[in-house]
Amino acid sequence: MALAMVNVTASVLNWVSSYFDAPTRAVVFGVPIDGHLVVEALLVVVILFQLTRKSYKPPKKPLTEKEIDELCDDWVPEPLTPQITEDMTYEPPTLESAAGPHAIVNGKEVVNFASANYLGLVGNEKITDSCVGALEKYGVGSCGPRGFYGTIDVHLDCEQKIAKFLGTPDSILYSYGISTIFSVIPAFCKKGDIIVADEGVHWAVQNGLYLSRSTVVYFKHNDMKSLENKLEEVTRRSKHPEKVRRYIVVEAIYQNSGQIAPLDEIVRLKEKYRFRIILDESHSFGVLGNSGRGLADHCGVPIEKIDIITAGMGNALATDGGFCTGSVRVVDHQRLSSSGYVFSASLPPYLASAAIAAVDYLEENPSVLSKLRTNIATLFNELSDVPGLVLASHILSPIVFLKLKKSTGTGKTDIDLLDSIAKQALEEDSVLIATTKRSSLDKCKLPIGLRLFVSASHSESDLLKAAASLKRVAALLIS
């Protein structure tokens, strides 16, 4: 069988080779043509034929008008806002008087711990007088942005006053507290820059970081070891240190937790790794330090070492607006490239004159700071043993922050429990306390809690009343 196969194969091969090895078969026009040349010529002709054919592409059919019409008819948008649920119908308490240490809510007098009136300047005579003078002279609004006749002489006076008070060369005023930080950050940080920020910063800072389009790295809340690690990592990975601007963004007193940032440690790290600091002093200006000059005064750090300081004036100074201060270069740069300054109307003049009067008051009466410190210490002491709640803020912070010892399960039930504590404290004991509210856009992961803003004008009985009320209500509601 195998032999027969071999024989057949051999004979086929012989036949094929004899065919090809055959001597010249034809003579055309005197040129001898071998048989294999015909096959090669045929192959060339086939190749040329294929090359001239168009390559096959599936035909591109753009949508016809009718199809677009159908798509447009079919498309159904989501509603503009989601369905309103039970917890969205929260109505805050309505004040019927000034937001001083005692306020009137629903006709009843309550002790007010929900206003950040740290120096007790709400209702101060001198400030009211300067405001009345400004209102009669300038009216209410300033009717224009700073670049187009909206700069009034009180603005310039206020900027100089704040700069002199803090000891910096110059400062710049903004017309609203939260717009300060989210205009300053994009003015200095652009795409490609590196920012190392604390994870507990509040929404306005997060918004500024997002708008700046820089690379943002977060470190653990108020943890200097974590900050050092992140700085080390970022410096190692950075390729052109002379062209890339690097910033550390921290708050002096965090409003989400009441912690105080250790500024001397941060300055040491900043000088080691060559970063610039942006410090938000909204809740520490007029509070910390022997003369109220803020965190630098409190930690004994010379003010020139901090590159950019921003603050909202809606807290200790009992007015509205914000300012930013630093070197001359820093301040001048903002006058043309900070969007909240250039494209917005300026601060109403009566609020600027209120700020001047407030800073004057602070310079003349530094004893108000020691009163505030005593109040904070008293309240801290009293609240250290509330059942179910634990103190989470720094001992010197005017924002006294209480969080739940044990979470009740979900975030929603926690919020409900805290809201009911605040509500009962208001209705039964006439103590107005605030719970932290988080917007759905806020990325901060720190725990929520109850916040009490201590003021220098609270009397000791107010503080004891609040502490007693909280202890009673918490014992009732937290099982």
Partner 1 sequence: MVRLPYTTALTTLFSYGLLFVFGQLRDFFRKLLGWIRKPKDQLKGYAPICLGLEDFYVRRLYLRIQDCFGRPIASAPDSWFDVVERCSNDNNKTLHRTEKTSRCLNLGSYNYLGFAAADEYCTPRVIQSLKEYSASTCSTRVEGGTTKLHVELEELVARFVGKEAAILFGMGYVTNSALIPCIIGKGGLIISDSLNHNSIVNGARGSGATVRVFQHNTPSHLEEVLREQIAEGQPRTHRPWKKIIVIVEGIYSMEGELCKLPEIIAVCKKYKAYTYLDEAHSIGAVGKSGRGVCELLGVDPADVDIMMGTFTKSFGSCGGYIAASKEIIQYLKFSCPAHLYATSMSPPAVQQVISAIKVILGEDGSSRGAQKLARIRENSNFFRSELQKMGFEVLGDNDSPVMPIMLYNPAKIPAFSRECLQQNVAVVTVAFPATPLLLARARICISASHTREDLIKALEVISKVGDLIGVKYFPAEPPKHLNQGHNKLE
According to CB under 8 A, which residues from 280 to 299 bind partner 1?
A: none
Q: Which residues pair with 312 in a beta bridge?
A: 322
Secondary structure class of 195 (helix, strand, coil): strand
In angstroms, give the least distance from the CB of 175 to partner 1.
Answer: 6
**What mask of x and - would describe binding to partner 1 in positions 185 to 204, judged by CB under 8 A?**
---x-------------xxx
- Which range of residues in 219-227, 312-320, 367-375, 393-401 is near partner 1 by CB under 8 A? 312-320
Identity of the residue, 103 or 368, whose beta carbon is nearer to partner 1 in the bound complex:
103
Contact residues for 230 (Cβ-Cβ < 8 A; gap 6+)? 196, 217, 218, 219
Q: How many CB atoms lie within 10 A of CB 86?
A: 7
109: contact with partner 1 by CB under 8 A = no
Q: Packing angle between helix 177-188 and helix 328-337, nearest 10 degrees?
A: 100
Contact residues for 262 (Cβ-Cβ < 8 A; gap 6+)? 222, 224, 299
**What mask of x and - would describe binding to partner 1 in positions 31 to 70, judged by CB under 8 A?**
--------------------------------x---xx--
88: contact with partner 1 by CB under 8 A = yes
**What mask of x and - would describe binding to partner 1 in positions 362 to 401, judged by CB under 8 A?**
----------------------------------------
For residue 392, which of 281, 260, 284, 277 has the smallest C-alpha distance?
260
In angstroms, give the least distance from the CB of 429 to partner 1.
Answer: 16
Identity of the residue, 212 or 259, whose beta carbon is nearer to partner 1 in the bound complex:
212
Which of 60, 72, 191, 237 binds partner 1 (CB under 8 A)? It is 72
How many angstroms separate the first and last alpha carbons of the chain? 97
Which of 101, 111, 138, 263 binds partner 1 (CB under 8 A)? It is 138
Indicate the DSSP class of residue 132: H
Site for partner 1 in 222-261 (CB under 8 A): 241-246
Q: Which residues pair with 325 in a beta bridge?
A: 171, 309
Secondary structure class of 138 (helix, strand, coil): helix
Identity of the residue, 146 or 458, whose beta carbon is nearer to partner 1 in the bound complex:
146
- The single-letter code of the amino acid at 309 is I
In angstroms, give the least distance from the CB of 47 to partner 1.
Answer: 41
Q: What is the sign of the dihedral through the CA atoms of 137, 143, 147 and 149?
A: negative
